[in-house]
Structure 1
Amino acid sequence: MSDYNEPPTSDEGRRTGWAELATGETVELARPGTRFGARILDGIIVVIFYFILAAVAFGGLAPSGDGSGVSSGGIAVMSLVGLAIGLAYEVVQIAVWGQTLGKRMTGIKVVSAAHGGVPGWGKAVGRWLIPGLVSLIPIVGWLLAILCYVSLTWDRVYQGWHDKAAGTLVVRA
């Protein structure tokens, strides 16, 4: 970003806080710290919704019949419910509005790098699937999912692996 809050005339491969869309329009990028804040807020919202749904629909995580703790079937069901909540929360909002609640609160949005508009369903699903799929890799999956998000910190236009794969940018709203 330039000193005067205007797009630079030439970035010469440096990070500037601005990006040019395929249409030629210049957009101001969301900073990594702001994106992290939005992700934290979204995580809190999803966890709250998850626990409310678990309490209402399943009476919480009921102990197994032998009293030794949570049943493996209960864990599997709640894992699938968590996956569905995450998918519905993230994908629907990004596809339709380009913003989750956390992104709205922090003043950022996801746009298509091609035209600057709402990403749509394909890009929203793709963006969600990249960290989701790598997180399924045994032992190192969680680390790869974190790297997916952290990778935006060393990219010129702050694109994480999930943004690159989907062809999206996160910009100031």
Structure 2
Amino acid sequence: MSDPYGGQPYNPHWQGGRPPGQWQQPPQQQWQQPAPAHGGYAPGGHGGYEPSPAADLPLAPIYRRAAARLMDNALVAVFGFALVLPIAFGVIGLDAPGSKTRTEGGVWNWPIITTLFVVLAILPFLYEAIQLSMWGQTLGKRMLGMSVVRVDPAGDPLPATQAVWRAAINNIGYQLGLFFFLILAVKVWEYAAYGLLLVTIGMVMAYLWAIWDQPLHQAMHDRFADTVVVDDRFGDEDDHYDYDQ
């Protein structure tokens, strides 16, 4: 094959016309980052990141969210046990002398497990779903000045379906694994109690996820339901600060 440069070394400043084909480099194509889903970051034009529109919302502090959750859980547990336990004792016959449900399986019999599931899962689900559907906040969140809103469109009130979905994940969804291993441990295999420990750790981590989640500080049920918890006191605090100044 003949040398296209006549035996001379390649000169990048060669002025003899168009360089041979093997020295032509194909044009470079600019790589484009696909647009991210809401709640994440997209590379900006200056090497930075562009946050989701929901990141501009006044997010509720984690400690107040935890306090509201504890208030709601305590309220439901107290009224739930006060309502369900007398019904369970009277209808199922737990308090009757010589009752089979009183002696079979020790304390962990089916009526007790069912009562616990109603109090710890079904009642909290109804409590949260109804209030979020109507007002966007539970009693605990209302007392501490917080609301649950949509991520997209950012800050819009929750529709009923989204409120029910969030409440179902937060209450029934988290509890299903717990009661599955509880039933397995007391009815089938006692070593399944280790599964209870793992599920409990997973439930705690699902709530703690909001601490390090960026940029919206969503717990796992917020991520699945596409919601975010906002601070209703944000504007009032600013007004009070301006007045004091």
Q: TM-score scaled to structure 1, two decimals? A: 0.76
Corresponding residue of 2:99: 65
TM-superposed CA distance for 1:70, in Å, is 4.0
Q: 1:144 to 1:165 in 2, by over 3 A?
A: same
- Kept after mapping to 2: 8 A contact 1:62/1:71: no
Select 1:161's aligned residue among 216, 220, 223: 220
TM-superposed CA distance for 1:52, in Å, is 1.6
Q: 1:121 to 1:144 in 2, by over 3 A?
A: farther
| Cα distance in structure 2, aligned partners of 1:161 and 1:77 | 26
> Could you list the runs of 5+ residues in structure 1 that have no partner in the other structure?
1-11, 14-18
Deviation digits for residues 22-42 of structure 1 (CA, Å, limit 9, x no counterpart) = xxx932100110100000000
Q: TM-score scaled to structure 2, two decimals? A: 0.55
| One-letter amino acid matched to 1:110 | V
> Could you list the runs of 5+ residues in structure 2 that have no partner in the other structure?
1-47, 182-194, 233-245
Secondary structure of 1:136 counterpart = helix
Once the two structures are aligned, what percentage of the paired residues are identical? Answer: 30
- Kept after mapping to 2: 8 A contact 1:62/1:70: no
- Kept after mapping to 2: 8 A contact 1:111/1:170: yes
Corresponding residue of 1:151: 209
| Cα distance in structure 2, aligned partners of 1:81 and 1:135 | 11
Structure with a larger share of its residues in helix? 2
| Cα distance in structure 1, aligned partners of 2:83 and 2:74 | 14
Count of aligned positions: 156
Counterparts of residues 17-166 of structure 1 (less than 5 Å)? 20-21=53-54, 26-59=56-89, 62-63=94-95, 65=99, 68=103, 70=107, 72-82=109-119, 83-115=121-153, 116-131=155-170, 132-137=172-177, 138=181, 139=195, 140-156=198-214, 157-166=216-225
| One-letter amino acid matched to 1:75 | I
TM-superposed CA distance for 1:75, in Å, is 1.3
TM-superposed CA distance for 1:71, in Å, is 6.3
Secondary structure of 1:28 counterpart = coil
